[in-house]
Amino acid sequence: DGGITQSPKYLFRKEGQNVTLSCEQNLNHDAMYWYRQDPGQGLRLIYYSQIVNDFQKGDIAEGYSVSREKKESFPLTVTSAQKNPTAFYLCASSTRTGGNTEAFFGQGTRLTVV
């Protein structure tokens, strides 16, 4: 089955710790994205990548980092510098960026800071 796999589904982190969220896709898509979703707010773009070894900051990149070493993988690290990391994180991919192509989403990772 083709799709986007995010893991883990639930993640708990102590304050001051970095944590990495996994995102893998087997759709052969060039572009990948990370969004954050908070209650009552729309999805907000954290980072996106159009090709391997290249990525750009989105609207709320502070306190996050990413890498794109393989086409299939786009992990997101939530660092201790992120002041309010508790949220639902969504990874997506599309055939390309440019806006005229739909993005497909994974099932999300819910991160809770305890």
Partner 1 sequence: EDQVTQSPEALRLQEGESSSLNCSYTVSGLRGLFWYRQDPGKGPEFLFTLYSAGEEKEKERLKATLTKKESFLHITAPKPEDSATYLCAVAGTASKLTFGTGTRLQVTL
For residues 51 and 71, give the distance between their C-alpha atoms in angstroms, rounded to a whole number.
Answer: 7
Residue written as token pair 């982190």: 13
* Min dist. Cβ of residue 96 to partner 1 (A): 9
Q: Binding partner 1 by CB under 8 A: which of 15, 41, 83, 84?
A: 41
Q: How many CB atoms lie within 10 A of CB 42?
A: 7
Question: Among residues 111, 92, 107, which one has the least CA distance to residue 38?
Answer: 111
Among 22, 67, 79, 97, binds partner 1 (CB under 8 A): 97
- Binding residue for partner 1, selected from 90, 93, 111, 113, defined by CB under 8 A: 90
Cα–Cα distance list, 110 to 13, 37, 39, 59, 100 (Å): 11, 10, 12, 20, 29
Residue among 16 and 98 whose Cβ is closer to partner 1? 98
Q: What's the CA gap between 5 and 93, in Å, rounded?
A: 11
Q: Residue 43 or residue 80: which is nearer to partner 1 going by CB?
A: 43
Q: Does 103 bind partner 1 (CB under 8 A)?
A: yes
Minimum CB distance to partner 1 smaller for 20 or for 107: 107
Q: Does 78 bind partner 1 (CB under 8 A)?
A: no
> Which residues form the interface with partner 1 (CB under 8 A)?
4, 6, 33, 35, 40-45, 48, 58, 90, 92, 97-108, 110
